[in-house]
A and B are shown apart, each in its own frame.
Chain A
Amino acid sequence: MPENGIGAPVRRREDKRFLTGKGRYTDDINRPGQLYAYFLRSPVAHAKVTRVETAQAEAAPGVVAVFTGQDMAADNVGSLPCGWTVTDRHGEPHKAPPHYPLVRDKVRYVGDHVAMVVAESYAQARDAADLIEVDYDELPAVVDTKEAMSGTQIHDEAPSNLCFDWELGDKDAVEQAMSQAANVVELDLINNRLIPNAMEPRAAIGDYDSGTDSYTVYSTSQNPHLLRLILCAFVLNLPESRVRVIAPDVGGGFGSKIYAYAEETCCTWAAKKVGRPVKWTAERGEAFVSDAHGRDHVTNVKLAVDQEGKFLALKVDTTANVGAYLSSFSTCVPTYLYATLLAGQYATPAIYANVKAVFTSTAPVDAYRGAGRPEATYLIERVVEVAARQLGMDPAELRRKNFIKPDQFPYQTPVALTYDIGNYEASLDKALEMIDYKGFPARKAEAETRGKLRGIGLSAYIEACGIAPSAVVGALGAGVGLWESAQVRFNATGTVSVMTGAHSHGQGHETSFAQLVSEKLGIPYENVEIVHGDTGAIPMGMGTYGSRSLAVGGSAIVRACDKIVEKGRKIAAHLLEASVDDVEFKDGQFTVVGTDRSKSMGEVAFTAYVPHNYPEGVEPGLDETAFYDPLNFTYPAGVHIAEIEVDPDTGITQIVDWVAVDDFGRVLNPMIVEGQVHGGIAQGVGQALLENCVYDKESGQLVTGSYMDYTMPRADDLPSFRVGMTVTECTHNPLGVKGCGEAGAIAAPPALINAITDAIGEEIDMPATAEKVWRVCQARFAQAAE
């Protein structure tokens, strides 16, 4: 392994700019003559808009223009599309009501976009927005997921607020197994609604050049080409060739920056209308009301188990809240990224899921770190834990008994996926050993002497990453292909520029992808530069989400490197006066087999650009592009164990130990991978203990709309984590990698809730806040005293 090659914990090259204040985020960019946009947002959850009067605002100091939905309608601006059509269980497509960037007749959530003010300064735009008069004919709000279908209808197109009623699996087989099973364990679960909260608020600049009739859009995007595609093909009706989207340094995404939003659409459109660049940066309060939220499921789950503890069948009924409109990928999250994962790590023979997606008068809901897979894992790992308690079995052993065994791979689940490889017992054993599972009863007894309730909780998760085989997702309704691209370009002097369609917003691609290319081409790490995030500089790419960057984008880089080597062999063979078949490539040298005659990669690259002595029929230059379409999903899996202590007098849960053992396949940079695990666990702990998005049921107002109200995990809420690894290499991509970005957020919530319920002896919904836990403890004390 070269010093900076695959497997080395190389320190990140992007850090220097971030640590010295030289990062370049969208809000750090200013264009000459730039104006500022402010969006007037709906103060009510659900209303007909009967009048919008903008004259006074238009006359206010500094104001250049005020736009409403009618102005966009007059320009034939389209609706923000949903990129995945789910077909319901009656064969009908989901209901996809229009989602206009600025509303035309109705507002449907607090924060919906009523008008856009463009002014010389942000303060002027904001002040002028106060002068816009809007008449709202208010309608009842619908915020509760469970009650949405009986609430006031939000869209004409969607009776009973039903977006789709979808199913997967063999219902008859499941019902038959349930009716004959010795035990059926049942749980009602809420997967609480979350607000992603990347630390950089969303921002956009639209810049129109009338000289070339072209646009440059700066945006906090995880996938600049996808944003360009949506803006051009669906909303603004522009040729893609005339629109360049730049996603510079992006301060975290976690899913929330995948989507095409109203604001960047409006800034792009308005830039031509006013003839000057238009910039918008979200205030945090705007991010809370208008970023796509995550999760928000209400679920009933039943697990049938035989007398020996073998799982026979799993039945899941879920209502999923999609919010007021369909965000870009909202529909695939509670379906194909959720129900397809319901086998988990277990050989359950029959599984059936019914999912109803409902519209509510709340912000749109879409993928948030994990996206469907945390919801699936939560219900599986909770019901398995409860089953172990009801059957009086050790929860680790019940899991072991039902694991898919290493010799069963490839394993076809009853819910469509084929797992290629895994070794779940290996992760379980390592995690049990790391946490000293056998020593837990003694630790619990010791905690009791201090008045503390100690609990332990396991979570054996699986996820489907490497998103995704295009033909498979296409057959399921996706409107895009989910391949990735890479261009590897040698410069004449031997340095390499790698253009990747993946986008880094914290993942460290500039480092890890350079490690990969350094090893593949046998050239110094320092000589490799990674270019991403600019549709003007990279081949069309699909961006970063679903832990796909290395498995799909990295595989594309490998394929492009292979092409470089293949061409290099022809050039080297010519220079070495040997047959191409006799030239082998290793560690940066092309060598005639069995001799010491060789040419370096650098010499070959120079020859390709200065082809004075060159093979006939070979093109000059050394610059290759590859597109990689994965053959299957990848299946990272692992076991997390949380050990906690509850103080029954305060309800505070202290995490005393956390062990994470993950199988991500081959690991490229272990330092970065561990960092991803830590961050994922923190978000999972946030969901389980602290975070909760709350809308007021009557008014539809977002109650948790600031950092004073929405509890972000802070340093003193979290412990340090112990991370272990096991490895089974992915069988179908050239790197053997699986992906690591979402694992922690998927694994953590059930581990923690299993630990807390173990400690307090009662079921509790997320977030298990100190108040909720305290109430349970007090009720139990009162009961014991009676």
Chain B
Amino acid sequence: MPSLSMTINGKQVTKDVDPNTLLVQFLRENLSLTGTHVGCDTSQCGACVVHVNGKSVKSCTMLAVQAEGSDVTTIEGLAQGDELHPMQAAFREHHGLQCGFCTPGMVMSAVDLLQNNPDPSETEIREWLEGNICRCTGYHNIVKAIQAAASEMRR
């Protein structure tokens, strides 16, 4: 069993894992970071999005060993202590979540969008979210939340 090291949410982690372990399984099962969710088996739903070296990645499409030496951020690592990340705060303020299951992936994906495009139009937001499925909100308030976070983060 190979030994695997990476930084997760700012902490160095070293574990032995089966080489066929997916990154999402490593997070959920080996590290009990259950905020990252599995909603499908075809890399379509985006509930498992995390950041690997600052970029959004579907953690079900990547083996844990491929993240060797990487800097991984999950939904658990986004807030600074009790202070929510502006994207998290905007999702709450604008009711961008209902059941909460797609939310971690949605938030992580949206944070990466603003890294690429700090002032996205509604169309650009909707196109970016194409890889994240939400069944509850109809996306209306998710789009509003991302627009609000973008405006807040540009200040």
- Residue with the greatest number of chain A CB neighbours at <10 A, chosen from B40, B99, B125: B99
Report the minimum CB–CB distance from B128 to chain A (whole Å).
8
Contact B135 A254 (CB under 8 A): yes
Among the stretches A7-15, A105-113, A291-299, A341-349, the one at the interface with B is A7-15
* Residue in B33, B42, B93, B107 whose CB lies within 8 Å of A706: B42
Contact A20 B84 (CB under 8 A): yes
Q: Does B153 reach chain A (CB closer than 8 Å)?
A: no
Q: Does B72 reach chain A (CB closer than 8 Å)?
A: no
Chain B residue contacts of A199, Cβ below 8 A: 37, 39, 45, 47, 99, 101-102, 133-136
Q: Does A675 reach chain B (CB closer than 8 Å)?
A: yes
B93-109 residues at the A interface, CB under 8 angstroms: 93, 95, 97-104, 107
Contact A718 B101 (CB under 8 A): no
Contact A20 B42 (CB under 8 A): no
Contact B42 A708 (CB under 8 A): yes
Q: Does A90 reach chain B (CB closer than 8 Å)?
A: no
* Residue in A20, A507, A683, A715 whose CB lies within 8 Å of B98: A507
Among the stretches A22-30, A70-78, A169-177, A308-316, the one at the interface with B is A22-30
Contact A20 B41 (CB under 8 A): no
Q: Does B140 reach chain A (CB closer than 8 Å)?
A: yes
- Given A18-B103, A22-B35, A284-B42 in contact, is the A682-B138 Cβ separation under 8 Å? yes
Q: Does B143 reach chain A (CB closer than 8 Å)?
A: yes
Q: Does B130 reach chain A (CB closer than 8 Å)?
A: yes
Q: Does B150 reach chain A (CB closer than 8 Å)?
A: no
Bitwise interface map of B from 26 to 47 toward A, beta carbon under 8 Å scored 1, else 0: 0010000111111111101101
A654-689 residues at the B interface, CB under 8 angstroms: 671-672, 674-675, 678-683
Q: Does A96 reach chain B (CB closer than 8 Å)?
A: no
Q: Does A224 reach chain B (CB closer than 8 Å)?
A: no
Q: How far is the CA of A508 from the CA of B100 in the complex (A)?
A: 10
Chain A residue contacts of B138, Cβ below 8 A: 678-683, 713, 718, 721, 744
Q: Does B16 reach chain A (CB closer than 8 Å)?
A: no
- Given A20-B76, A679-B136, A721-B140 in contact, is the A252-B130 Cβ separation under 8 Å? no
Q: Does A720 reach chain B (CB closer than 8 Å)?
A: yes
Contact B139 A718 (CB under 8 A): yes
Q: Does A726 reach chain B (CB closer than 8 Å)?
A: no
Q: How far is the CA of A708 from the CA of B134 in the complex (A)?
A: 16
* Residue in A14, A21, A252 whose CB lies within 8 Å of B36: A21
Size category of the B interface is 35 or more
Contact A720 B140 (CB under 8 A): yes
Contact A506 B100 (CB under 8 A): yes
* Residue in A14, A508, A683, A715 whose CB lies within 8 Å of B132: A715
Q: Does B74 reach chain A (CB closer than 8 Å)?
A: yes
Q: Does A198 reach chain B (CB closer than 8 Å)?
A: yes
Contact A707 B102 (CB under 8 A): no
Contact B100 A23 (CB under 8 A): yes
* Residue in A23, A25, A249, A714 whose CB lies within 8 Å of B129: A714
Q: How far is the CA of A282 from the CA of B135 in the complex (A)?
A: 17
Contact A715 B126 (CB under 8 A): yes
Q: Does A250 reach chain B (CB closer than 8 Å)?
A: yes
* Residue in A23, A284, A679 whose CB lies within 8 Å of B39: A284
- Given A252-B99, A675-B141 in contact, is the A20-B136 Cβ separation under 8 Å? no
- Given A199-B47, A199-B102, A707-B44 in contact, is the A19-B136 Cβ separation under 8 Å? no
Q: How far is the CA of A675 from the CA of B98 in the complex (A)?
A: 8
- Given A285-B41, A715-B139 in contact, is the A20-B79 Cβ separation under 8 Å? yes
Report the minimum CB–CB distance from A424 to chain B (whole Å).
24
* Residue in B40, B78, B95, B130 whose CB lies within 8 Å of A20: B78
Report the minimum CB–CB distance from A611 to chain B (whole Å).
39
Chain A residue contacts of B57, Cβ below 8 A: none
Chain A residue contacts of B45, Cβ below 8 A: 199, 284, 707
Q: Does A645 reach chain B (CB closer than 8 Å)?
A: no
Chain A residue contacts of B75, Cβ below 8 A: 19-21
Report the minimum CB–CB distance from B98 to chain A (whole Å).
4
Q: Does A612 reach chain B (CB closer than 8 Å)?
A: no
Q: Which residue of A lies closest to B92 (CB)?
A: A15
* Residue in A11, A16, A198, A708 whose CB lies within 8 Å of B99: A198
Q: Does B122 reach chain A (CB closer than 8 Å)?
A: yes
Q: Which residue of B lies closest to A682 (CB)?
A: B138
Q: How far is the CA of A20 from the CA of B82 in the complex (A)?
A: 10
Q: Does A200 reach chain B (CB closer than 8 Å)?
A: yes
Q: Does A95 reach chain B (CB closer than 8 Å)?
A: no
Chain B residue contacts of A413, Cβ below 8 A: none
Bitwise interface map of B from 78 to 90 toward A, beta carbon under 8 Å scored 1, else 0: 1100001000100
Q: Does A749 reach chain B (CB closer than 8 Å)?
A: no
Q: How far is the CA of A672 from the CA of B33 in the complex (A)?
A: 29
Q: How far is the CA of A718 from the CA of B74 in the complex (A)?
A: 28
Q: How far is the CA of A249 from the CA of B37 in the complex (A)?
A: 13
Q: How far is the CA of A680 from the CA of B74 in the complex (A)?
A: 30
Chain A residue contacts of B95, Cβ below 8 A: 11-12, 671-672, 674-675
Contact A15 B91 (CB under 8 A): yes
Contact A200 B99 (CB under 8 A): yes
Q: Does A364 reach chain B (CB closer than 8 Å)?
A: no
Contact A20 B35 (CB under 8 A): yes
Q: Does A399 reach chain B (CB closer than 8 Å)?
A: no
Contact A11 B92 (CB under 8 A): yes
Q: Does A712 reach chain B (CB closer than 8 Å)?
A: yes
Contact B84 A19 (CB under 8 A): yes
* Residue in A11, A14, A720 whose CB lies within 8 Å of B100: A14
Report the minimum CB–CB distance from B86 to chain A (whole Å).
12
Q: How far is the CA of A25 from the CA of B123 in the complex (A)?
A: 32
* Residue in B33, B102, B129, B137 whose CB lies within 8 Å of A21: B33
Q: How far is the CA of A718 from the CA of B40 in the complex (A)?
A: 21
Q: Does A201 reach chain B (CB closer than 8 Å)?
A: yes
Chain B residue contacts of A323, Cβ below 8 A: none
Q: Does A130 reach chain B (CB closer than 8 Å)?
A: no
Contact B122 A720 (CB under 8 A): yes
Nearest 7 Cβ contacts at the A-B interface: A21-B35, A18-B100, A251-B101, A682-B138, A506-B99, A707-B44, A506-B98
Known contacts A675-B136, A712-B133, A716-B127; 14 further A-B pairs (Cβ under 8 A): A18-B103, A19-B75, A19-B88, A19-B103, A20-B75, A199-B101, A200-B101, A284-B45, A675-B98, A706-B40, A706-B44, A707-B44, A707-B133, A720-B144
Could you show 22 A-B contacts with beta carbons less than 8 Å apart? A18-B103, A18-B104, A19-B88, A19-B107, A20-B35, A21-B76, A24-B34, A25-B34, A27-B38, A200-B99, A249-B99, A252-B101, A284-B41, A285-B41, A672-B95, A675-B137, A682-B139, A707-B40, A713-B138, A714-B130, A716-B129, A718-B140
